[in-house]
């Protein structure tokens, strides 16, 4: 009874904040579904258009239609399924550099950037705690059993941002829901997924991905020369940027790429490249 009251109060809060969170039996604005090996996944979005800064709710329904239990990949907070917003404008990995020095540095700069174009929705429990820093989930991975003919429903939310304070670019976004499954006999990963469209409005005018911004920086002779200056050969004689680290962040309509030497480097240095997030033009290069 207490839990029911809590859920009703929480739903009222969402409505008062402008959310149109789906309630059981309510029609969805967008629906998509998929099936793999007898496991069905349905994705329901409570709106077809999202104004950046507001909230879209995704309801994921997973059903095991088999006469036997299946195993899905869990761990941490053990939330069945996952939902990701794919923002095409900034998901492009850009150029494949043939020179290892640049290719390896670019990969390290781009991987892990929260503005990479693949933005995870938060599960409902984490969403409720976001103002308190979210909830901590362990990084362990384990197989979780789902009984024959069982059904689970999970809800996820997104506010149209790449990370807190940074709105995503306006345009068509693909919302992908998936469940990763475990095949104990074949020892291979399988998944069931569904993709639904979502139109994002009132976002930024960014059209250049962080990877493309790094490409623009590496194409600039000043930044390229700085990277070469701080390169070192590995045990095979190949030039590397292992003594260089850095960050990529979005500041309005500008990608700010900062590279700096690590403590192991023979000489210290720092460089900042600012790239226009609308046309990939290098705005400035500054060393410190």
Tens of pLDDT, residues 260-287: 999 988 788 999 999 999 999 999 999 9
- Specify the pLDDT at position 141: 84
| Largest distance between two CA atoms of the chain | 69
Q: What's the pLDDT at 115?
A: 65
Distances (CA, A) of 229 to 40, 225, 278: 54, 6, 30
Rounded-to-integer distance, Cα 130 and Cα 149, Å: 34
Which are the contacts of 136, defined by CB distance < 8 A and separation ≥ 6? Answer: none
Look at residue 26 in the predicted model and tell me its pLDDT. Answer: 62
pLDDT tens-digit series, residues 27-40:
789 999 999 999 99
Query: What's 68's DSSP letter?
Result: S
Distance between CA atoms of residues 22 and 51, nearest Å: 17
pLDDT of residue 288: 81
Chain-centroid distance, C-alpha 73: 19
Long-range residue pairs from 239-242, CB within 8 A, at least 24 positions apart, any chain? 239/100, 239/101, 240/100, 240/101, 240/104, 241/101, 241/102, 241/104, 241/105
Residues 6+ apart with CB under 8 A from 108: 245, 246
Nearest CA among 82, 79, 71, 81 for reference residue 186: 71
The structure tokens 């003594």 sit at: 243
Average the pLDDT over each of 89-103, 163-177, 179-193 and give the range with the smallest value: 179-193
Say what the pLDDT of residue 33 is: 98
Domains parsed from the chain with CATH numbers? 18-90+116-201 (2.60.40.3880), 92-114+207-287 (3.10.450)
pLDDT band of 163, cuts 50, 70, 90 = confident
pLDDT at residue 21 greater than cutoff 70: no
Q: With bands split at pLDDT 50, 70 and 90, how would you rate the model's confidence at 176? A: very high
Distance CA(209)–CA(222), nearest Å, equals: 21
**pLDDT range class, residue 20, cuts 50, 70, 90:** very low
> Tell me, what's the pLDDT at 4?
39
> What average pLDDT does the segment 132-153 reach?
89
Compare 208 and 2 and report the one with higher pLDDT. 208
With both helix axes pointing from N to C terminus, report the angle between 221-229 and 100-110 in degrees, rounded to the nearest 10. 100
Q: Are 265 and 230 in contact (CB under 8 A)?
A: yes
Other Cβ atoms closer than 10 A to 264: 8
Which range has the worst mean pLDDT, 45-49, 77-81, 137-141, 255-259?
137-141
Q: What is the pLDDT of residues 197-206, one digit of tens each?
A: 999 999 989 9
The answer to whether 85 touches 198, Cβ cutoff 8 Å, is: yes
**Are 280 and 216 contacting, i.e. CB atoms less than 8 angstroms apart?**
yes
Average pLDDT, the chain: 87
Structure tokens at 34: 């998929």
**What pTM does this model have?**
0.77
CA atoms within 13 A on the CB side of 264: 7
SS3 5: helix
pLDDT of residue 15 exceeding 70: no
| Dihedral, CA of residue 232, residue 236, residue 237 and residue 243, to nearest 10 | -10
On the question of pLDDT at 187 being above 50, the answer is: no
pLDDT, position 6 = 38
Lowest mean pLDDT: which of 15-19, 51-55, 56-60, 185-189? 15-19
Locate 8 and state its tokens. 């009703």
What's the rounded Cα separation, in Å, for the pair 273 and 254? 10
Which pLDDT does position 111 carry in this prediction?
84
pLDDT of 2 > 80? The answer is no
Question: What is the rounded CA–CA span in Å between residue 282 and residue 217?
Answer: 7
């Amino acid at each position: 009874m207490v839990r029911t009251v809590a859920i009703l109060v929480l739903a009222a809060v969402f409505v008062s904040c402008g959310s149109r969170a789906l309630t059981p039996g309510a029609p969805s604005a967008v629906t998509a579904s998929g099936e793999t090996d007898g496991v069905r996944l349905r994705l329901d979005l409570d709106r077809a258009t999202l104004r950046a800064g507001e909230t879209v709710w995704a309801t994921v329904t997973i059903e095991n239609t088999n006469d036997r239990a299946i195993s899905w990949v869990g761990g941490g907070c053990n939330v069945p399924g996952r939902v990701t917003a794919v923002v095409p404008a900034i998901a492009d990995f850009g150029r494949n550099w043939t020179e290892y020095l640049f290719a390896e540095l670019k990969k390290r700069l781009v991987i892990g950037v929260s503005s990479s174009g693949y933005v995870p929705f938060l599960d409902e429990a984490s969403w409720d705690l976001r103002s308190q820093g979210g909830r901590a989930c362990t990084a362990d991975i384990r197989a979780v059993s789902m009984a024959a003919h069982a059904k689970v429903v999970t809800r996820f939310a997104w506010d149209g941002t790449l990370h807190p304070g940074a709105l995503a670019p306006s345009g068509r976004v693909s919302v992908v829901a998936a469940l990763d499954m475990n095949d104990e006999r074949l020892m291979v990963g399988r998944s069931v997924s569904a993709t639904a469209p979502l139109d994002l409005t009132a976002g930024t005018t960014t059209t250049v991905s962080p990877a493309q911004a790094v490409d623009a920086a590496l194409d600039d002779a000043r930044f390229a020369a700085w990277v070469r200056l701080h390169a070192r050969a590995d045990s095979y004689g190949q030039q590397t940027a292992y003594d260089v680290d850095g960050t990529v962040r979005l500041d309005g309509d500008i990608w700010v790429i900062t590279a700096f030497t690590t403590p192991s480097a023979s000489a210290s240095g720092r460089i900042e490249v600012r790239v226009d997030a609308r046309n990939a033009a290098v705005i400035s290069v500054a060393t410190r």
